[in-house]
Amino acid sequence: MIQTIIKGIQEKKGSGIVVADLDGIDGTICRYFIICQGNSPAQVEAIADSIAETTRKDMKEKPARVVGLENAQWVAMDYGDVLVHIFLPDVREYYDLEHLWDDAKLNYIPDLD
């Protein structure tokens, strides 16, 4: 699931992809956060659409819930054990989810050129 979501992000040139492994940390609501960003609301929405399409095609999975598409500054997609967060850069910096869970293992995915 993680690799499929990353593929969907990269297809729309999403950047700054971080996978936070929350497995084994008390009080978490999922096993993984995948965090990324787009440079405009249109790109944030396109990334969300690409993730939904890629997971549907490749894994026959749909998100249980998607929120934030109205203004596309922060879109959250719930895949049960995996929560995907797609931000505009300034909103991402403000909420700083990567560091919300200090003891999570962070895996930084290189941007595609």
Share of the chain above pLDDT 70, in %: 100
Whether 44 contacts 87, CB under 8 Å: yes
Q: Which pLDDT belongs to residue 13?
A: 97
Model confidence over 67-81: pLDDT tens digits?
999 999 999 999 999
Quick one: average pLDDT of 3-27? 94
Q: Report d(CA 90, CA 113) in Å as an integer.
A: 22
For the domain 2-96, what is the CATH code? 3.30.460.10
Is a pLDDT exceeding 80 seen at residue 113? no
Based on C-alpha coordinates, what's the Rg of the chain? Answer: 13
- Number of continuous H segments (helices) and E segments (strands) in the chain: 3, 6
Q: How many alpha carbons fall within 13 Å on the CB side of residue 67?
A: 4
The residue ranges of DSSP E strands in 1-113, in sequence order, are 15-21, 32-37, 65-67, 74-78, 82-87, 105-109
Residues 6+ apart with CB under 8 A from 60: none
Q: Which pLDDT belongs to residue 79?
A: 98
